[in-house]
């Protein structure tokens, strides 16, 4: 079974993908992402691999005949890709060189461009799950990309908030958040020429760091060569600092937040909340409806650790009411993570 099912309570879609039940844990001594496996090239630096167990597919089956007047289904159209960071099975993102991470940034950019050319794709989510604490079953260093046929609810809320803030103030919301954090200072982690990192005032997670571009850019396609280099550098610095904080591999979920694609009519247009068939008009870019004016590229980390060996669980309040509770003051956690980042940056000799 593979389909989308609409939740009328939340006005969002649930992906149903029973094929993912067959997804294996890492076979001992037999990694499909390592050179020599026959699944990937014998030589690569970074590599795009089509997911063997996708939740979304460019050739989805017809949904089961379970829809009613109240319950809607739709084909699970889209694309799921695995992005391999390195041929080295034991490498992790912070262990890669800045020049190697730049190759990863370039691959993300290439895939964002390629996936946006399918008019039925409405949101392209680039992300990484790291560590068994967040359900990772394949230890080889990798991230993923999902191209959805709609804009998922959390991103819809964020886009609407940015639009409304801009309408009320004339400012970009993320630009204002960047300025607020820089002015206060205590939640700042580090900055480079083109990016800034902090644990924002409102985060759900004790170590829920953001990385945001200083310049107002809406997606990864907008970055110059120098900004791509700088993104690679700050990714290494921040994730290396996370590992140094508790002297252990730091589990996290990392998500790139970017503008949607192919939305005729902007936020109110077809495909914002519901999958639609592609048509000749579906080539409108986000900038045609002003999203580049009010939406701003940033990366969000959702790390489950609250201390070296204690996890923050999303229990009833967080899951059932969407009422997050952060167990620690981020002014304190930011100080600790900042010290670890600065210490690691000096150890690595990165300017």
The torsion angle over the Cα atoms of residues 276, 278, 283 and 286, rounded to 10 degrees, is 20
Asked whether 192 and 230 are in contact (CB, 8 A), the reply is yes
First vs last Cα of the chain: how many Å apart? 51
Cα-flanking dihedrals φ and ψ of residue 148, to 5°? Answer: -90, 150
Cα-flanking dihedrals φ and ψ of residue 302, to 5°? Answer: -125, 85
Asked whether 141 and 88 are in contact (CB, 8 A), the reply is yes
> Exposed, middle or buried: residue 137 (CB in 10 Å: 0-12, 13-18, 19+)?
exposed
Q: Which residues of 61-78 are buried (b: 16+ CB within 10 A; e: fewer)?
A: eebeeeeeeeebbbbbbb
- Angle 37-40-44 from CA coordinates, rounded to 5°: 115
Distance of CA 281 to the CA centre of its chain: 28
Asked whether 169 and 176 are in contact (CB, 8 A), the reply is yes
Contacts made by residues 85-88, CB under 8 angstroms, sequence distance 24+: 85/46, 85/141, 85/142, 85/143, 86/45, 86/46, 86/141, 87/34, 87/35, 87/40, 87/43, 87/44, 87/45, 88/141
The torsion angle over the Cα atoms of residues 72, 77, 83 and 89, rounded to 10 degrees, is 70
- Non-local CB neighbours of 52 within 8 Å, separated by 6+ positions: 23, 32
Instruction: Please give the structure tokens belonging to residue 182.
Output: 């820089």
Whether residue 142 lies in the annotated active site: yes
- The CB density around residue 201, as the number of other CB atoms within 10 Å, is 13
Catalytic residue among 140, 142, 166, 289: 142
Instruction: Please give the structure tokens belonging to residue 112.
Output: 């964002």
Name the residues annotated as catalytic. Answer: 142
């Amino acid at each position: 079974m593979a389909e989308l099912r609409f939740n009328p309570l939340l006005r969002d879609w649930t992906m149903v993908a029973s094929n993912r039940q067959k997804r294996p844990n890492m076979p001992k001594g037999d990694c499909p992402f390592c050179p020599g496996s026959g699944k990937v090239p014998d030589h690569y630096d970074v590599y795009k691999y089509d997911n063997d167990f996708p939740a979304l597919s460019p050739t989805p089956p017809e949904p089961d005949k379970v829809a009613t007047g109240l319950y809607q289904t739709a084909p699970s159209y889209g694309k799921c890709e695995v992005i391999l960071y390195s041929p080295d099975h034991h490498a992790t993102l912070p262990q890669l060189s800045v020049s190697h991470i730049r190759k990863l940034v370039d691959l993300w950019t290439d895939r964002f461009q390629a996936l946006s050319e399918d008019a039925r794709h409405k949101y392209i989510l680039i992300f990484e799950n790291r560590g068994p604490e967040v359900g990772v079953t394949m230890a080889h260093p990798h991230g993923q990309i999902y191209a959805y046929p709609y804009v998922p609810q959390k991103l819809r809320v964020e886009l609407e908030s940015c639009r409304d803030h801009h309408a009320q103030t004339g400012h970009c919301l993320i630009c204002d958040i960047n300025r607020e954090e820089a002015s206060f200072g205590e939640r700042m982690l580090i900055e480079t020429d083109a990016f800034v990192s902090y644990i924002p005032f409102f985060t759900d997670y004790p170590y829920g760091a953001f990385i945001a571009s200083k310049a107002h850019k809406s997606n990864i396609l907008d970055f110059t060569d120098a900004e791509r280099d700088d993104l690679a550098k700050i990714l290494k610095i921040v994730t290396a600092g996370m590992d140094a904080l508790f002297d252990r591999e730091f589990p996290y979920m990392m998500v790139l937040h970017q503008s949607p694609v192919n939305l005729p009519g902007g936020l109110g247009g077809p495909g914002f909340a519901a999958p639609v068939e592609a048509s000749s008009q579906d080539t409108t870019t986000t900038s045609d409806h002003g999203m580049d004016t009010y939406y701003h590229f940033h990366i969000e980390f959702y790390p489950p650790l609250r201390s070296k060996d204690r996890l923050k669980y999303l229990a009833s309040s967080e899951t059932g009411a969407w009422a997050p509770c952060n167990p620690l003051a981020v002014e304190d956690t930011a100080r600790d993570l900042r010290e670890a980042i600065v210490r690691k940056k000096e150890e690595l000799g990165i300017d």
